[in-house]
Amino acid sequence: MQPMGTAQPLGAENDLYQTAATPDITSPKGFTAGGVHCGIKRKRKDLGIILCDVPASAAAVYTTNVFQAPPLKVTQQSLAVEGKLQAFLCNSGNANACTGEQGLLDAFRMRAETAACFGLEEHRVGVVSTGVIGELLPMDRISQGISHLAIQTGKEGHEDFCRSILTTDTCIKAAEVSVVIDGKTVRIAGAAKGSGMIHPHMATMLAFVTTDAVIEPPVLQQLLREVTDETYNMITVDGDCSTNDMVVSMASGLAGHAPLTPEHPDWAAFRAGFAHVSRELAKMIARDGEGATKLVEVKVTGAPDVVTAKQAAKAVVGSSLVKTAVFGADTNWGRIFCALGYSSPLIDPEHVDLAVGPVQLVKDSQSTGVDEALARRYLEEEHVRFHVHLNQGEAEATAWGCDLTYDYVQINASYRT
């Protein structure tokens, strides 16, 4: 499995940071990582860890699903103490969700054993699980796995960790940028996993963002919340918001600049870099949606307000009919209008324009008469962009998703069998 490439975003923002060609979650100062096979999955790595040499400022956002899994509750308890983490343990193959009292005890045990193994205080350890819902964790295997975790910096630690968190993902997902704060280089790196039960409500999958920036936990928490709304919350694969979704960020503070706040002169650069890493991870998750062959990007401009723009972009990218049409490279733009039309009552139905890539298919809600073969050819590409202009105002939003394919059905009709 190769990591997916990190494309440059459009706009002037990308002057504020440098993207790294080979992302590495251990690249920010102070971080190490590892991953092993402990026996939850048959063969592949299923237990991973991120460690920090020092207590790192930490922040997290969690799924809004009411069946929030026990490990998320344990992580919340850890963060509540002082907002600092030194280790984050993640297993894949079993979500430890809908597992009652025993599930909660197991999550606490994962935390306790990780703390004991690495000589940390329990409240400086976070835990998370992903995989099948409703089955108890094989705790003996996890205990053994924790003791076998080999911790490394660089490519090996990074890849071992990235692999250990995957479920039906087909590739590892990572991104990294560097920014300059007070004249010092600060790194921001991230790793994530998808790829089913992905839908925009709060955090919608697992993502880990490390940085050596100096930043207090409440500032990091606020930033993470804002960026999550623009990135992870703007992707959808299948409309299902999981019980275990979480985004977590750890900042070691080892870069040695003045603490970051929105008032810091280099805040814009840090925010842009942090958002870039999150956006790239979000797009990789969308592109690697179960069974997907294409990344679909829907940009809505000219909306009366941001909420309408977001609803419209997410409705189009989430529509099963649009997703199958993209899979079939069918320029059935009526489906896009159908989705726009149920996304919000605030949309003016008379003046909507639509471009499929470079092809202007619709102007003022009617066909432009352009040769649809042009659009069909464009839809054969792997990254498909729709641009909807509502001609109502200045607000805009972008959402990402993927096509709906035979393989999505195949993967999910036989996930456990």
CA triple 361-363-364, angle to 5 deg? 145
Looking at this protein, which amino acid is placed at residue 104?
A: L
Burial class (CB in 10 A: 0-12, 13-18, 19+), 406: exposed
Residue 77 CB coordination number (10 Å): 15
- The residue within the footprint of a second copy, chosen from 150, 258, 373, 409 (CB under 8 A), is 409
Instruction: Tell me which of 130, 204, 228, 301 is the catalytic residue.
Output: 204
Using CB under 8 A as the binding rule, whether residue 62 contacts a second copy is answered as no
Using CB under 8 A as the binding rule, whether residue 371 contacts a second copy is answered as no
> Would you state the structure tokens that stand for residue 119, as one six-digit string?
């000589």
Q: How far is the CB of 299 from a second copy (least distance, A)?
A: 20
Q: How far is the CB of 234 from a second copy (least distance, A)?
A: 17
Residue 153 CB coordination number (10 Å): 17
- The residue within the footprint of a second copy, chosen from 242, 249, 252, 308 (CB under 8 A), is 242
Q: Interface residues for a second copy in 88-127 (CB under 8 A)?
A: 95, 97-100
Binding mask 170-209 for a second copy (x = CB under 8 A): --------------------------xx-x-x--------
Rounded Cα gap, residues 200 and 65, in angstroms: 11
Distances (CA, A) of 400 to 290, 388, 397, 415: 14, 14, 10, 24
Beta carbons of 165 and 92 less than 8 angstroms apart:
yes
Beta carbons of 229 and 280 less than 8 angstroms apart:
no
Using CB under 8 A as the binding rule, whether residue 300 contacts a second copy is answered as no
The DSSP code for 244 is: S
- The residue within the footprint of a second copy, chosen from 344, 359, 388, 400 (CB under 8 A), is 344
Residue 126 CB coordination number (10 Å): 29
Tell whether the torsion through CA atoms of 285, 382, 391 and 365 is positive or negative: negative
The bridge status of strand 366-367 relative to strand 359-363 is antiparallel
Stretch that binds a second copy, among 121-129, 216-224, 301-309, 401-409 (CB under 8 A): 401-409
Using CB under 8 A as the binding rule, whether residue 135 contacts a second copy is answered as yes
Q: How far is the CB of 95 from a second copy (least distance, A)?
A: 7
Q: DSSP 3-state assignment of 272?
A: helix
Q: How far is the CB of 338 from a second copy (least distance, A)?
A: 6
> Would you state the structure tokens that stand for residue 232, as one six-digit string?
């992870």
Using CB under 8 A as the binding rule, whether residue 321 contacts a second copy is answered as yes
Q: How far is the CB of 332 from a second copy (least distance, A)?
A: 6
Q: Which is nearer to a second copy, 6 or 344 (CB)?
A: 344
Using CB under 8 A as the binding rule, whether residue 243 contacts a second copy is answered as yes
Using CB under 8 A as the binding rule, whether residue 324 contacts a second copy is answered as yes
Nearest CA to 71 out of 25, 137, 162 is that of 137
Helix axes 100-118, 139-148, angle to 10 degrees: 20
Q: How far is the CB of 351 from a second copy (least distance, A)?
A: 11
> Would you state the structure tokens that stand for residue 141, as one six-digit string?
């295997």
Stretch that binds a second copy, among 108-116, 144-152, 278-286, 407-415 (CB under 8 A): 407-415
Using CB under 8 A as the binding rule, whether residue 382 contacts a second copy is answered as no
Q: Is 204 one of the catalytic residues?
A: yes
Beta carbons of 353 and 386 less than 8 angstroms apart:
no
Site size toward a second copy (CB under 8 A) is: 66
In 320-371, alpha helices (H)? 320-327, 333-343
Rounded Cα gap, residues 203 and 61, in angstroms: 6
Using CB under 8 A as the binding rule, whether residue 305 contacts a second copy is answered as no
Q: How far is the CB of 215 from a second copy (least distance, A)?
A: 31
Using CB under 8 A as the binding rule, whether residue 228 contacts a second copy is answered as no
45 known ligand binder: no
204 known ligand binder: yes
Using CB under 8 A as the binding rule, whether residue 413 contacts a second copy is answered as yes
List, by residue number, the catalytic residues: 204
Instruction: Please give the residue ranges that form the binding site for a second copy (CB under 8 A).
Output: 64-68, 95, 97-100, 132-135, 196-197, 199, 201, 238-243, 318-321, 324-325, 327-328, 330, 332-335, 337-342, 344-345, 347-349, 362, 364-367, 404-406, 408-417
Annotated binding site for substrate: 167, 193, 204, 290, 412, 417
